Structure 1
Amino acid sequence: MQVVYHLGAHCTDDDRLVRSLGRNRTAFAEEGILVPAPRRYRQVMREVRLSLRGRESTDEIQEALLDAIIEEDRAKRLILSHELFLSAPNHAVTGEGFYAMLGRRLKALANIFPSAECEFHLALRNPATLIPALVARHPEFAYEGMMGGQDPTDLRWRPTIENAIETNPGVKLVLWCNEDTPFIWTDIMRRISGVGSEFPLQGELDLLSTLVTEEGLEKLGSALGGDSRPGADERHQIIAATLEEHARPDALEMEIELPDWTTEMVETITLNYEADIAAIAAMPGVELVAP
């Protein structure tokens, strides 16, 4: 059995991906690909993870967990999604660093189903927009407390991913940049589910429907649907042109207002992020989904 964990990160998904995958639940199930409703596994998975304390699960625990999560007798590929698999939002930045718990969390999740082939899927987001988004989403957490004493310019994905790979030799990490998600939504859905390009998907326009006007969405439906579906490169070009012409006002822009954050600091964080992505793409064990 393959177990696919989608971990977020925070402020990249808002459960839209698992909802879109869930629209294909019946068709996927015929292929042995199971997308259980999140309410069936999120709490029980947390309870099992905490009870194991990083140890490998027993056959009995795995069987009981699967009985709680799925109704089918067998699963070829089981897809589980929750940004709290990664961490609580107020632990994104700690005194240890930026998502410093990632390596330990991957090992703990893999140990829930130690006999399964596990994959971990994660959207990376520029810390220059991730931190403001987290603060806006969770006003109950003060900015200073959320930062854990870290300098914003030290929030780097590269050491986080390096540590995750070192802690979990042979780990399968499928990553993408949140900034690219509108262009590769279909690619992400197919990669997580494991279906080929010929498999008909529901929900391919779910994300874009939040970013473009109704006119733009109608044009996308006409251009991307039908019997003669464009290839990946052409699809990306169509989406880019539609976003440029029909994006909803402010849908792709974000004002950053945090204490002591300057334009120069934001630029530095962004340049660091771009350098980290280039380095991560070359790491062994990493598959980067890109336009």
Structure 2
Amino acid sequence: MAKAAPVHPKRVLLLVGAHKTASTHLQRAIAAQKDVLRELGIGVLEPNDVRRFLAPLSYLLRDYGWRRELTHLAVASAGAVCGFAPETLVVMDENILGATEPRMLWSDDGRFYPWGPGRTARTAELFPRSEISVGLALRDLGTFLPSAYGEAIRNGALRTWEGWLGGIDPTGLRWSPTAKALSDAVAPAPLTVWRFEDYPQIAPVVLDRLLGENAAARIPLPPEPQRVGLSADAIGAVRRHLEAGGDPGDRGALERAMRQHPRGPDAPGFRPFNSATLEWLTEAYRQDVDAIAALPRTTVLAP
């Protein structure tokens, strides 16, 4: 007897980040309530699930186009990981957009995640019978870029702030081209956007909007940040290591810097911008969010 085809989810929600926007906090809150969400027909794929199962299939789709076979495998993999055939599938991984390495984070024309829209669209294509929606969080560049820099050296080679920027003018970077390209890539799927700065107040609204009414009542939020960034003193220790000719691949140097200079109330994060630049970036961010709110099929959530 032939094996029955896997049941496609009716809806697929792609939570694609961005990095350093409390994405881990939101992901862990949702993942912690998998059993509760299962009662509602909602299945959850955490970042490691996405990286082990869906990402390789999306790469094969890009390179070989085996659409029928790969969509079958994607749906079957999602059902196997969830342990049931979900009516709604939540796919959570900011690495769908890219990474905090410069070549993945921005393009020469000032657009964030230049490959992100295509990567998101291919992930959506793995579920051709499902209604797709996408969730995206943004952050003021004055704090996003230093935080992304810290994340980059935690996950890759050590480098200075200037070395990480690689000569790019951070004041020329914008979110709105990325949001437009993402919306166009997944059309006609709706795009829901929120600001990191609003997240502490708006998290219940985000949950209800994306997962359905009263979802927030079923998903208590952890009280603390889930991935604390590096302190300015730790960044300074990394710089001294590199300027002294230290190996950029020495992970021990970073671990020692983090251990000796932990982030805390008296040890603030890295702040490379002066007050005038911060004000300029904040105003540019406000205009950028207004431009995103005017995009078709796009909703910007507010407190």
1:68 to 77, 81, 101: 77
* Aligned-partner Cα distance in 1 for 2:131–2:149: 35
Shift of residue 158 of structure 1?
Answer: 1.7
Give the C-alpha shift of residue 36 in structure 1: 3.4
TM-score (norm 1): 0.75
Count of equivalent residues: 248
Q: Secondary structure at the match of 1:94?
A: coil
> Conserved in 2, the CA contact under 8 Å of 1:121 and 1:192?
yes
Shift of residue 55, structure 1, vs aligned partner: 7.2
Q: Specify the code of the residue in structure 2 equivalent to 1:76.
A: E
Pairwise CA distance, 1:40: 3.0
1:117 pairs with 2:131: yes
Shift of 1:54: 7.1
For 1:97, the equivalent position in structure 2 comes to: 110
Deviation at 1:190, TM superposition (A): 2.2
Partner of 1:77: 88
Match of 2:6 in 1: none
The answer on 1:152 being equivalent to 2:170 is yes
Counterpart contact for 1:180–1:290, Cα < 8 Å: yes
1:152 deviation in Å?
A: 1.1
Please report the TM-score for the alignment, with normalisation by the length of structure 2: 0.73
Counterpart residue type for residue 129 of structure 2: S
Retained in 2: the 8 A contact 1:126–1:273? yes
In 2: Cα distance, 1:167 partner to 1:202 partner: 30
What is the letter of the counterpart of residue 93 of structure 2?
H
Which residue of structure 1 lines up, in the alignment, with residue 191 of structure 2?
173
State the shift of 1:21 in Å. Answer: 0.9
TM superposition shift of 1:256:
4.6
Q: Which runs of 5+ in 1 are unaligned?
A: 212-248
1:133 and 2:147 aligned: yes
Equivalence for 1:49: 58
Establish whether residue 202 from structure 1 lines up as the match of residue 219 from structure 2.
yes
Letter in 2 for 1:170: P
- The alignment status of 1:271 with 2:289, answered yes or no, reads no
Identify unmatched segments of 5+ residues in structure 2. 1-9, 227-263
Offset of residue 134 of structure 1: 1.2
Per-residue deviation, 1:128: 1.1
Using the alignment, how far apart are the partners of 2:171 and 2:216 within structure 1? Answer: 43
Q: 1:58 to 1:104 in 2, by over 3 A?
A: closer
Identity rate of aligned residues, in percent?
Answer: 25
Deviations 1:145-172 (A, max 9, x none): 5435421111111222223334443231
Once superposed, what is the RMSD of the aligned Cα atoms?
2.7
Greater CA deviation, 54-63 or 37-46? 54-63
